[in-house]
Structure 1
């Protein structure tokens, strides 16, 4: 006896849902074993939303967070959509982090709501390597929409948190649907044996990783291919290999 059409249709829908859930998620490795070991699958999940913020409230840490996001975007394939509310990005600096100007499409919007709408449309469009949006506030509802859009297209979504006022910074601690949450702070540059400025160095904090553990890493900033590196003097240090466990995740 053949099943009823409604039952057969329901089975097909269930099979599609189960197939999607069982599908192995692709990742974008950082190429730093100490960092990738802390991430499920060994890298940043593609087809997912990720959050990045500066470690402090100043412009310097905010710039480091933007370059961290640029380095991730640089290592994806295809064009990168970058949604902003302020036209203050310095394209040569992004290029030094591996994200060349001819790969970036900039969209300037007036407020967070419009920026998030542009980000969602960019993710749903598909065919983009990454979509970055600079926002002060990110609600659970908005982040879920972005997560679903990223899953559907397979692109990386990066919510780059920027604040105009001190009171807005507290929003970064609120729960969102992002797969990972990062905080980047500037550290003193790598010492040189001669006078000069060494390679920029960051404290990169993995505050939250879905199905993973939080950790802190002292890393050299992105090079012109978008890649991070472990400082030479830390390569053989046991503490560097283990990372520093954080007491709480956001």
Structure 2
């Protein structure tokens, strides 16, 4: 049985707080996932970049006096790196397939990110995962993907849903959203994964050396989801393009499942 003590993340106590340029009030979001990029050709241990994916919410008129939900209704989730941000949207006015990608100071006066560390026992064996699940321990996945030219992506995210079968010693994690560095998704000039090539995704895995990914993508034509009895048809939907998910393959990765202490 392979288990070891590690430092993980307590996502229930991890937040990102922003202050917009034109406002004096603050917005706080829970952190859904963390992505750390290392380059072994530069350093064996130093983090080259750290990204955080924030919780997805429905867009609202903040402190409004009338209807608070913006119509047409859409959801958004923000992603922050050290210098730039990106906003994923389920719909986007006029150009639904595009997201906002800009330097942080263009939109925000201040950003504070708190990733709360937590001691944990990391398991790379099904029995350890099953025992921790049945003990109702919070579980966090540490997934490593090795990219080109020495790049290594370390994905950290909570396990929101897991199936376990104690009799046969099987488990299966089905969770997300996570931040996925779409391979190859590197800039040939900088040798780094670019923020524009990171995507919201979901993952399913039942072993420790590979995972399947379903990544977010823009569906150009949502008419396939309309019907004669559905008022939200292509003709009267002002934002007919929507964000959906597609199967993005099975990837070789290294996985540890950490049970928080």
* TM score, norm. by length of structure 1: 0.25
- TM-score, with normalisation over the residues of structure 2? 0.24
Q: Which has the higher strand share?
A: 2
Structure that is richer in helix per residue: 1
